Chains A and B, each alone.
Chain A
Amino acid sequence: MGEAGERKVVPTGAKVVAAVMIPAIAALNYAGGVIVEVLKLPIWGDTWATMLGTLISGFWVGAIGGFLYNIIMALTLWGLPAWVWGFCNVLIALFTWIAIKMGWADIHKPVRLIPACLIFGFIYPIFCTIIGVGLFGGGPLAKPLPAMVYSATLAATKNFWLANYVQNISCEIPDKIASFIISLIIADRVPEKFKLMRR
């Protein structure tokens, strides 16, 4: 216990930090996208900060920050309907949060990461497919590898939905796994004092 006269004070900084953290998450998602372009990596790289935000500041910061990123992209580059992908980002925050609660988010125990990776790699693309077909026509992506996967599946099975799903899996598995791992590594390295402001 404390000495005589010592008082413990309840910290009030969390709300302000969250207000600043949220745009930072959006900006970091954006920067992630730029980095993968510079390094010419075949992944999106623009949802990793959503995961990071969830890991260090809780579900709401990650979800809102990720959604905000999609709003910004919708307003500047991808067009109005793109804001709907924001829900995908919220989903990513949710899956990350589930991974934390189930103990699947420990970088020091790589085997435990597998269930989370499976969710990101196979369940998440289901939602991507629904949005992709419903709102964007379900055509092939303008990237060479996914487009080939799309064409091959479509030619082989004549199933429009399946072609979209397989195309999405081929993109999301490498992207989400890489993003998940990098966000875990960074969350692990973040000094205690930043995690202090966890909601």
Chain B
Amino acid sequence: MSSLATSILRRSVAEVDTPMHRIDPRVKFLFFIWISVWAYIFLDYVLTAIFLTTVLILTFIGKVFSKTVKAVAIVVVPWMAVGIPILSALFPWNKTLIYNLQLFGYNIPLYYEGAAWGVVWPLRIGVCLASAMFFLFTTEPVKLIALLFEFKMPFRFIYAVTGALQFTPILLDDLQTIIQAQRSRGMRTDVSLLKRLANYPVLIVPLTLSALNKVQIRAIALESRGFSAPVKKTWPYDLSLKRIDYIFLAGIIITTIIFIYIYIVYGFSPISHLKFYLAAG
């Protein structure tokens, strides 16, 4: 999982051009927020599954389908695999019996409410995740930074955010070196918990000292290049809306109207008719 995250951080957007790539990052960002919010407004696994499928179709058009599916699957599948069994048996608001499981001579009733709960929540996160990946994977990093400038954020803040994305792979490279060095000195990961715990500082201390050193150096280098100059910083990339952006935005607006209608008329669970629980049952 961490290697997937590393590859996300390290990626340079390949010179691909699809209609999805051409959409303005502001529009894609809006879409990401918009669909994530709607995934939370509706509590309906069928509807949420439709959302997810839609996003995945968009990623398919944008040729980033396999990366997105991998990322989503890693989070959603284990979650469902653990959640559905446990919740269908033990969810406090279980009412509708769907199956009686015979296990080791015990009779374990499994209920619909718990199972549905165990399906819909991971799906919701799946939608958020997939739409975020869609946004990130189909946008050139320089345009992402331009987006932050567009939001008129203070420069030090922009630096802090993008700096993290740049710093992390450097740090992880350092970590690899440290791990290899320690392994060749006899560090093992197939030993008892206590011994592994003892290895934790062995890895983390040199990494931190190296990181802090780098912070110092980078700080004085930035300062030497005018970082603290109290002027408006230039960023040489512009964003401008094109026809495809307006089409996409129109689609979002129309769908919003439809959703509002569905919500008002059919409630928050139009297809699977789930109920929402929060009070201690």
Contact = CB atoms under 8 A, between A and B. Distances in A.
Interface in B208-223: 208-209, 211-212, 214-216, 218-220, 222-223
Contacts of B271: none
A123 interface: no
A140 B208 contact: no
B130 to A, nearest CB: 8
Most buried by B among A24, A49, A74: A24
A22 B196 contact: no
Interface in A72-99: 72-81
B146 interface: no
A173 interface: no
A40 B200 CA distance: 10
Interface string A38-51: 11111001001100
Interface string A20-33: 11111011101111
Contact of B160 (A22, A73, A142, A151): A22
A35 interface: yes
Nearest to A49: B208
Contacts of A116: none
A141 interface: yes
A36 B207 CA distance: 14
B265 interface: no
Interface in B190-217: 193, 196-197, 199-201, 203-205, 207-209, 211-212, 214-216
Contact of A64 (B127, B160, B207): B160
Given A16-B219, A23-B164, A178-B197, A141 B189 contact: no
Given A20-B215, A21-B215, A72-B164, A81 B125 contact: yes
Contact of A30 (B83, B125, B171): B171
B75 interface: yes
Contacts of A71: 161
A182 B200 contact: yes
B159 A19 contact: yes
Given A38-B189, A182-B204, A142 B280 contact: no
Contacts of B260: none
Interface string B143-173: 0000000000000100111011111101110
30 contacts: A15-B156, A16-B219, A17-B215, A17-B219, A23-B159, A27-B164, A27-B171, A28-B207, A38-B189, A39-B189, A39-B196, A39-B199, A40-B196, A69-B164, A72-B165, A76-B9, A77-B4, A77-B129, A79-B125, A79-B126, A80-B33, A80-B132, A137-B120, A137-B124, A139-B118, A142-B82, A147-B86, A159-B281, A194-B215, A194-B216
